[in-house]
Amino acid sequence: MEKRPTNLIEATTNAFDGMKRILFQPFDLARWFVIGFTAWLAQLLSGSSSMPSFSSDYSGSSASAEEVPELPASPQEVVESGLESLQPAIDWYEQNKMMVISLGVVGALIVMIIAGLLIWLSSRGKFMLLDNVVHNRAEIAIPWRSQAAAGWSLFWWNAAFSIVSLVAGLAFVAGVFYLTLWPHLSGAENWQFPIFQLISLVLVFLLFALIYSYIMNMLESFVIPIMYKRGIGVMAAWGVFLKLHRQYFWTFILYFLWLMVLGIALGLAVMLFGVVTCCLGFIVMAIPYVGAVLLLPISVWMRLLGPELLRQIGPEYDLWESYQQPTDDQPPAS
């Protein structure tokens, strides 16, 4: 397939124009609440609340030098002081080990069930929102039924990827504990806090977090639209996308960086809105579903951005054009 030129600014502008057509031409509050419900479902796991936290411990009085507690002089002293303060909790755990383990297992099962339900609802909601913005309509029952198979396929992938990510995260935490604290806990002599090793581990963590974010953004922006366009499962859609990714590598890298820029700008705008409204905006945005409706222009705009870039690549990726059978240089739908 011949490589076509792409333009991120044009895609962003077209997505913004599409958002205006869907939500403001004309403005219909009932329509906002319907589409907002699908956006809320789609974002169940994204933590879209913009509610900041404020400390209430500040008393407004200045303390004298004698009242200021002495701070540890080195990271090693910080760790030793922290471990010493945790010793009563460690002793209590040793005395109630079986109860703690039993409660931990039950709690983990409950968390897994709730997480599975949220992943399933979010997976279904992503296709409901996409279907509504593509068809410029406000429906719940129609996309819930028509996109059921795609939602289930995405659910299984998200569940598996979440488990892999969780295991990798726990392994990383265990590795950090083993390399930094275990020698001290095991009674090693002349123990020194490995500050440079810890910095290296933090950098590795940031790298993996960046890779995780990239994968999830590619899934949201391109893989899900390809699934919707071709009526295929998530693995087949990943195959189609990875072929595109090889051909348009720098386009997708720039898209990811552009998303970061837009995310920072929109985040600042939301913060400004909250401050201007004397924090009332923060309170409203923190309310489930209501916050999704209030932030619906952002959700619809971002939902349209990936498909608008895809349609520049070719009509076979255009969600607003009838799908044509793939040619020999494209993988068949499965």
pLDDT at position 92 is 81
Query: In whole angstroms, what is the distance from residue 298 CA to residue 240 CA?
Result: 28
3-state SS, one letter per residue, for the chain: CCCCCCCHHHHHHHHHHHHHHHHECCECHHHHHHHHHHHHHHCCCCCCCCCCCCCCCCCCCCCCHHHCCCCCCCHHHHHHHHHHHHHHHHHHHHHCHHHHHHHHHHHHHHHHHHHHHHHHHHHHHHHHHHHHHHHCCCCCHHHHHHCHHHHHHHHHHHHHHHHHHHHHHHHHHHHHHHHHCHHHHCCCCCCCCCHHHHHHHHHHHHHHHHHHHHHHHHHHHHHHHHHHHHCCCHHHHHHHHHHHHHHCHHHHHHHHHHHHHHHHHHHHHHHHHHHHCCCHHHHHHCCCCHHHHHCHHHHHHHHHHHHHHHHHHCHHHCCCCCCCCCCCCCCCCC
Mean pLDDT for back-to-back runs of 10 residues, the chain (334 residues): 88 97 95 97 71 41 48 57 68 81 92 95 97 96 96 97 93 80 63 73 90 97 97 97 96 97 95 90 91 96 97 94 51 41
pLDDT at position 88 is 78
pLDDT at position 41 is 96
The structural domains of the chain, with segments of one domain joined by +, span 9-48+78-317
